Amino acid sequence: MSHPSAAISGGKNRRAANDPLWLQSLLISLSLGFVGLMLVLPLSIVFIEAFRDGIGAYLKSFDDSAAWEAIKLTVISSAIAIPLNLTFGLAAAWAIAKFDFKGKSLLITLIDLPFAVSPVISGLIYVLLFGLQGWLGPWLAAHNIRIIFAVPGIVLATIFVTFPFIARELIPLMQQQGSDEEQAALSLGAGGWQTFWRVTLPNIKWGLLYGVILCNARAMGEFGAVSVVSGHIRGKTNTVPLHVEILYNEYNVVAAFAMASLLALLGLVTLAAKTYLEWKVQQELQSSLEPSSAEA
């Protein structure tokens, strides 16, 4: 995972390459070929297959109420997960970056946990907790609360797989920025919240946005974890990725790729935003590193 806040380019190697021309051509062609084959081709296929039978067929895929329900559910779970994860990310980054305490690395490892865990397991643990045969299953059934195979389960699984993104982006960023400005604000009489709103937030806004974009992309696109907890009930507990799966398995190829094209579009927008924001964050960090010392 590229980390704009961790990669401050030293620019040391922006000099002319000293490799022979034939080698350069070979390596460049191999690179282009590899990436073209592995990345560009699959991406293009999505759109090609979606529009294979023309625009009419493409648009007809969205004539389906189940499709719209899926879109709605995807957007809702994202809309719930992101603010919660945002709050978490800010809180965790503040605690970790501005203070010194024992167990910090353990905490950071815990935050990184979802990245190390297979999406299927991410869904499994919620089934084991809330499912009918799970820990809290009987209690939930008695109170007629459905979490697994219902929307809350999907939201929970989504939160699990996406909460690290914002925190992981903010923690190194805030660590690198230090707490001088906050201390200055406090010395000038500002309270804790005032300091946070007026001084800390403006400084991290690009990194924050970056984290939110990544969080959103993953939330909307999550498949494995959501698949486990959702129950695949058409029109009720299907997100867009799950709906794509259903359509594909029914050999409804055009419709499947049409839905997939929405996600692919989201992916491209995410990539573009990501690249732009990475550049912005690098700019921020450059300016906070070197005070100039020219004339008085």
Partner 1 sequence: MSIDVRNVTKTFGSYTALSNVNLQVKDGELVALLGPSGSGKTTLLRIIAGLEIPDDNPDSSILFHGEDVARRQVGERQVGFVFQHYALFKHMSVFENIAFGLRVRPRHLRPSNDVIADKVNRLLKLIQLENLGKRFPAQLSGGQRQRVALARALAIEPRVLLLDEPFGALDAKVRQGLRNWLRRLHDELHVTSILVTHDQEEALEVADRVVVMNNARIEQVGTPSEVFHNPASEFVMDFLGNVNVFRGRIENGFAELGHFSLKVPHLPKSEAQDANVYIRPHELEIELQANGTPSLPATVARINPAGSYAKIALAASDGRELQVDLPFERFSELNLHLGDHVFVSPKKVRVFVPEYVI
Partner 2 sequence: MSLASSLSAGERTSVSRWLWFNRIRFKQHSVLPGFGLTMGFTLLYLGLIVLLPLSAMFLRAAGLTPAKFWEIISAPRVVASYKLTFGASLAAALVNSVFGFIVAWSLVRYRFPGRKILDALIDLPFALPTAVSGIALCAIYAKTGWIGQYLHPLGIKAAFSPLGITIALTFIGLPFVVRTLQPAIEELDGETEEAAASLGASRWQTFLRVIVPSLLPPLLTGFAMAFARALGEYGSVVFIAGNQPMKTEITSLLIITKLEQYDYAGATALAIVMLLASFVLLLAINVLQWWTGRAYHKQ
Q: Residues interacting with partner 1, by CB under 8 A?
A: 180-181, 183-191, 194, 198-199, 202-203, 284, 287-288, 291-296
CA distance between the termini of the chain: 43
- Which of residues 2 and 187 has its CB atom nearest to partner 1 in the complex? 187
CA distance 235 to 67: 7
- Which of residues 34 and 68 has its CB atom nearest to partner 2 in the complex? 34
Closest contact distance (angstroms) between CB of 188 and partner 1 is 4
* CA separation, residue 264 to residues 42, 184, 212, 239, 242 (Å): 10, 45, 18, 15, 14
CA distance 185 to 293: 24
DSSP 110-122: HHHHHHHS-HHHH
CA distance 284 to 172: 13
* Residue 169 binding partner per list partner 1, partner 2, none, with a CB distance cut-off of 5 to 8 Å that depends on partner kind: none
In 3D space, the residue among 61, 41, 42 whose CA is nearest the CA of residue 51 turns out to be 61
Select the residue interacting with partner 2 from 57, 75, 76, 117 (CB under 8 A).
117
CA distance 150 to 216: 21
- Which of residues 180 and 295 has its CB atom nearest to partner 2 in the complex? 180
Listed ranges 53-61, 64-72, 170-178, 272-280: which one lies at the site for partner 2 (CB under 8 A): 272-280
Select the residue interacting with partner 2 from 79, 188, 233, 271 (CB under 8 A).
271
* Residue 175 binding partner per list partner 1, partner 2, none, with a CB distance cut-off of 5 to 8 Å that depends on partner kind: none
Closest contact distance (angstroms) between CB of 174 and partner 1 is 14
Token pair of 19 as six digits = 């490799």
Closest contact distance (angstroms) between CB of 193 and partner 1 is 10
Residue with tokens 């925190």: 167
Select the residue interacting with partner 2 from 55, 65, 99, 292 (CB under 8 A).
99
Closest contact distance (angstroms) between CB of 198 and partner 1 is 7
CA distance 147 to 154: 8
- Which of residues 44 and 194 has its CB atom nearest to partner 1 in the complex? 194
Q: Each residue of 80-101: b (16+ CB within 10 Å) or e? A: bbbeebbebbbebbbebbeeee
Closest contact distance (angstroms) between CB of 143 and partner 2 is 18
Q: What number of residues does the chain have? A: 296
Q: Which of residues 174-203 bind partner 2 (CB under 8 A)?
A: 179, 182-183, 186, 191-192, 195-196
Any contact of residue 233 with partner 2 (CB under 8 A)?
Answer: no
- Which of residues 152 and 267 has its CB atom nearest to partner 2 in the complex? 267
- What 3-state class would DSSP assign to 239? coil
